[in-house]
A and B are shown apart, each in its own frame.
Chain A
Amino acid sequence: MGGAALNRRTLDVSDLPNVVFGYRGLLWWGTLGLAVIEGAMFAILIASYFYLRSRTSDWPPGVMPPAMLYGVLQVICYALSVVPAVWVQKAANKGDLRKVQLGLIVLGVFGLLSLGLRVGEFASLNVKWNSNAYGSVVWMLLGAHTVHLLTDWYDTLVLTVIMFRPSLVEGKRFMDTSENSDYWYFVVLAWLPVWFTIYVAPRIL
């Protein structure tokens, strides 16, 4: 090739943007990959729950099903949290820093609220992880979801701090904000089958 390259035909890409959102971005695909992995994990965990259920006639075995209150509050909390998550995502896609700052704070508050409700949820499971296999799988389900909740909450926190430091704000951080919302949607979506399994399944099975 060598010197001939000087006169080669070229495909000029200098006009292309570098701040893009949604499925165009690499991070969107990375987040999707993570969500699929963790989604598979939840699916297998829920399958394990029903497998254990099928091994016994008494379910939940010798204990009361989890009390509904905190679980229902959690569902409401997540349903409401989608509003700021969508709002901040739209603001990020437009590069509106003020709205992004505000939206991230609101989302962080929702995360904190959800973590608080989670403490109540663990307390109302009516079973310990080491009582029986039912207790083990219920605790693991709720624990696994909590790990995701914690990581996304922490991620939101770090992003909020960055967005309040003007020297660090750039297109990539708006893309991160957008993906942070996508990850939040996953935490919310994953909650629905987990919630159903923990709270509803023992009552109707």
Chain B
Amino acid sequence: MSTLDQPAVAPKLTEEQRHDLLERTWREPPGFWGWFSNVNHKSIGKRYFVTAFIFLLLGGVLAVLMRLQLSRPENRFLGPDEYNQIFTMHGTTMMFLFAVPMMFEALSTYFVPLMLGARNIAFPRLNAFSYYVYLFGGIMLWVAFVMNVGPDVGWFAYVPLSGPDYTPGKRADFWAQMITFTELSALAVAVEVVVTVFKLRAPGMSLNRIPIFVWAQLVVAFMVIFAMPSVTLSSTMLLLDRLIGTHFFNPAEGGDALLYQHLFWWFGHPEVYIIFLPGTGLVSTLMVAFSRRKAFGYTAIVLATVATGFIGFGVWVHHMFTTGLPQMSYGFFAAASLMIVIPTAVQFYCWIATIWSGHLNMRIPMWFIAGFFFIFLIGGLTGVMLALIPLDWQVHDTYFVVAHFHYVLIGGAVFPLFGAVYYWLPKITGRMLHEGLGKWHFWLFFLGFNFTFFPMHILGLRGMPRRVYTYQPELGWGPINALQSAGATLMAAGVLVLLWNVWRSYRRGDAAGPNPWQAGTLEWATSSPPPVYNFRDLPTVSGVEPVWENPPDQPVVAGLHEDTREVLVTRALDADPDHRTEFPNSSIWPFLAAVAVTALFVGSIFHEGAVLWFSIPVAITLTGWFWPKGNEAARRRERDKWEAQH
């Protein structure tokens, strides 16, 4: 089928002309309406980054408000109703609107195609659709909050509290429908990531040459596929109970409140790994780039990531240890919760070995990786403590748990993410960030984090429960809370320094060049920022770090039509060339479809008939999305080359 010519027949076009041609083919429409038609993975990825970062800031503001309220006993800064809404919105925003969209959707959409040597992500229109659905879901939730109908039932919205009897009004409905939006978006990206990784890899990138970060995102995509349907179901059941009188969670009519908890945590615990595994992928990536050697134990790291993905589905009941369960459940889920430490430990040892045997270059991204090591390790250790049932019973619903999961999530996701900002933002913008400001950012955030969250362990052990809006002075929790609130201001200052650094870099940062860190993966084999078509010559690879390992005469892919968005599809296992296919052009229909879906989802909160009526615009917009254009069909028909018939 495909052949290796040596040397190549000289192309008919000059390099300059090819650049112009590719630019014309792949560029997105300009102007206001063009913005809504964009289907390039880098544009959509950037929107995911910016939107998720704004939600991080909003969630952070809520955190600061909570810390102000708790800074002294009997504080009257916030009332109990406001406080309930604020802690619910904080958790919901951070988990559903920041953590997953940032760690999975944003990073995957932007970097996975680049790291695989592809021109775009698989199903680019679906990718655009997923972004708008996420954006509209987030806006809906926040508009509801600003209008004082924000959810106030905690980020997991347990029944019966969130059910029709105890939360009348629309507050819990907005929460449940926000789930539908964000899960739809994440599921769409999960399918795109799986197909991109399986079928759009550069020739030569067999399974054992896939970048570790891409492996992590692939495992996460599978976890999304198996976990998210569960929470979509539980929140839909909750909505149905609230809106049309079903009885899924109503014990009086044969329903069961614990069913909700099972369904939620079947999603909710894998969710932790959905957020954390991209972090480990980032750690591996940065560790390799700054140790200047290939990953020690590549296979072990990949298998550990896969193992974590599997075991992550066997631990959900440890969130329910205090609900009264069969003895067998306690034993099984406590054992699984302890076992999941093993693959994470394997990764830790591989990272240590990578640094040990490499030539560590302690640039600013690595500071955040060091922070990750320290903080995540503590979070992991308190996790082992919480897997022990007697301790879990003591500290359940106390600040000990709050401390634990902030160490895990901020340590496991936010620190690697900040490292990745310093590492990858130069690729996105073409400009470096300032290292000195980066150190200020690191120390303020690192110290602030530990001042805020370490004392929470002690508070929790002393019995302070979560989710109380205030406490009495004689309980003696005042000084520790004041210290934590001071720490929170340091964290906020650290984030402000980051914002200033990004702004400064945007205005007058040093030019990054294609590969400022001399790293080895394919995103560094093109300019910064990459052209709209990613690579002028589509690469082939002969190692896991192609920029380091490819010989000078490594072939490039030739023979694709460059006047249309034609891409090469490779085989799933060995990434040998398989066939060519044409990617869709820019289109406004995914945006319109997202608007129609939003009307359906939001409308259904207010009237069940909305599902019926708004399904008509949904059908119309989806038809418009898939409807082919006559001239494009004619051109493709002309060029169609059918597979050999058997």
Contacts of B241 in A (CB 8 A): 136
Q: A9-B6, A11-B577, A24-B578 are in contact. List 18 more A-B contacts (CB 8 A).
A: A7-B10, A8-B553, A9-B8, A16-B2, A17-B641, A17-B642, A18-B581, A26-B123, A30-B191, A34-B191, A52-B256, A133-B246, A133-B255, A135-B246, A168-B630, A169-B633, A170-B637, A172-B582
Name the one of B5, B11, B640, B645 contacting A9, with C-beta atoms under 8 angstroms.
Answer: B5
Residue in A closest to B568 when the chains form the complex, CB atoms: A13
CA distance A131 to B244 in the complex (A): 11
Residue in B closest to A48 when the chains form the complex, CB atoms: B259
CA distance A44 to B229 in the complex (A): 8
B580 touches A2 (CB 8 A): no
B254 touches A132 (CB 8 A): yes
Q: Is A102 an interface residue (CB 8 A)?
A: no
B8 touches A56 (CB 8 A): no
| 5 closest cross-chain pairs (CB), A and B | A14-B559, A33-B191, A136-B246, A10-B558, A133-B254
Contacts of A17 in B (CB 8 A): 579-580, 641-644
Q: Is B50 an interface residue (CB 8 A)?
A: no
Assuming the contacts A9-B6, A16-B577, A26-B195, asked whether A168 and B628 have C-beta atoms less than 8 A apart, the reply is: yes
B555 touches A30 (CB 8 A): no
Which of A35-43, A81-89, A190-198 contacts the other chain? A35-43
Contacts of A18 in B (CB 8 A): 566, 579-582, 639-641
Q: Is A21 an interface residue (CB 8 A)?
A: yes
CA distance A52 to B247 in the complex (A): 11
B229 touches A37 (CB 8 A): yes
> What would 29 A/B residue contacts be, using CB atoms closer than 8 Å?
A6-B11, A8-B553, A9-B4, A10-B559, A11-B4, A12-B8, A13-B557, A13-B580, A14-B559, A18-B582, A19-B643, A24-B579, A29-B199, A34-B191, A45-B233, A94-B645, A130-B247, A131-B247, A133-B247, A133-B250, A133-B253, A133-B255, A135-B247, A136-B246, A140-B237, A154-B619, A162-B628, A170-B636, A172-B636
B198 touches A29 (CB 8 A): yes
A132 touches B642 (CB 8 A): no
Residue in B closest to A14 when the chains form the complex, CB atoms: B559
Cβ of A109 to closest chain B Cβ, rounded Å = 20
CA distance A162 to B560 in the complex (A): 28
Contacts of B8 in A (CB 8 A): 7-10, 12
A33 touches B195 (CB 8 A): yes
Contacts of B645 in A (CB 8 A): 94
Q: Is A173 an interface residue (CB 8 A)?
A: yes
Q: Is B149 an interface residue (CB 8 A)?
A: no
Name the one of A51, A167, A171 contacting B262, with C-beta atoms under 8 angstroms.
Answer: A51
Cβ of B127 to closest chain A Cβ, rounded Å = 12
Secondary structure class of chain B's binding surface, majority of residues: mixed
A40 touches B225 (CB 8 A): yes
Assuming the contacts A5-B556, A9-B8, A11-B203, asked whether A171 and B2 have C-beta atoms less than 8 A apart, the reply is: no
Assuming the contacts A12-B2, A37-B191, asked whether A167 and B578 have C-beta atoms less than 8 A apart, the reply is: no
Contacts of A1 in B (CB 8 A): 537
A15 touches B582 (CB 8 A): no
Which residues of A128-162 are within 8 A (CB) of B? 129-137, 139-140, 154, 158, 162
A44 touches B553 (CB 8 A): no
Q: Is B623 an interface residue (CB 8 A)?
A: yes
Q: Is B1 an interface residue (CB 8 A)?
A: yes
Q: Is A202 an interface residue (CB 8 A)?
A: no
Contacts of B578 in A (CB 8 A): 16, 20, 24
CA distance A14 to B566 in the complex (A): 11
Interface centre among B6, B199, B262, B572 (most CB of A within 10 A): B199
Q: Is B7 an interface residue (CB 8 A)?
A: yes
CA distance A51 to B199 in the complex (A): 39
B255 touches A12 (CB 8 A): no
Cβ of B273 to closest chain A Cβ, rounded Å = 17
Assuming the contacts A12-B559, A16-B578, A26-B569, asked whether A52 and B2 have C-beta atoms less than 8 A apart, the reply is: no
Q: Is B248 an interface residue (CB 8 A)?
A: yes
B534-573 vs A, Cβ < 8 Å mask (1 yes, 0 no)? 0011001000000000000111111110000010110010
Contacts of A25 in B (CB 8 A): 569, 579, 581
Q: Is B220 an interface residue (CB 8 A)?
A: no
Cβ of A161 to closest chain B Cβ, rounded Å = 9
Q: Is B40 an interface residue (CB 8 A)?
A: no
CA distance A189 to B642 in the complex (A): 30
B8-40 vs A, Cβ < 8 Å mask (1 yes, 0 no)? 101100010000000000000000000000000
Which residues of B217-250 are within 8 A (CB) of A? 225-226, 228-230, 232-233, 237, 240-241, 244-248, 250
A20 touches B643 (CB 8 A): yes
A167 touches B643 (CB 8 A): no
CA distance A40 to B568 in the complex (A): 31
Cβ of B295 to closest chain A Cβ, rounded Å = 26
B229 touches A41 (CB 8 A): yes
CA distance A137 to B582 in the complex (A): 43
Assuming the contacts A9-B6, A13-B577, A170-B633, asked whether A29 and B195 have C-beta atoms less than 8 A apart, the reply is: yes
Q: Is B178 an interface residue (CB 8 A)?
A: no
Assuming the contacts A6-B10, A7-B8, asked whether A171 and B195 have C-beta atoms less than 8 A apart, the reply is: no
Residue in A closest to B267 when the chains form the complex, CB atoms: A44
Contacts of B187 in A (CB 8 A): 37
Residue in B closest to A150 when the chains form the complex, CB atoms: B615
Cβ of B572 to closest chain A Cβ, rounded Å = 8
Contacts of A136 in B (CB 8 A): 237, 240-241, 246-248, 255
Q: Is B634 an interface residue (CB 8 A)?
A: yes
Contacts of A23 in B (CB 8 A): 572
A44 touches B233 (CB 8 A): yes
Name the one of A2, A19, A34 contacting B15, with C-beta atoms under 8 angstroms.
Answer: A2
Contacts of A48 in B (CB 8 A): 233, 237, 248, 259, 263
Q: Is A65 an interface residue (CB 8 A)?
A: no
B244 touches A130 (CB 8 A): yes
Name the one of B7, B262, B556, B581 contacting A26, with C-beta atoms under 8 angstroms.
Answer: B581
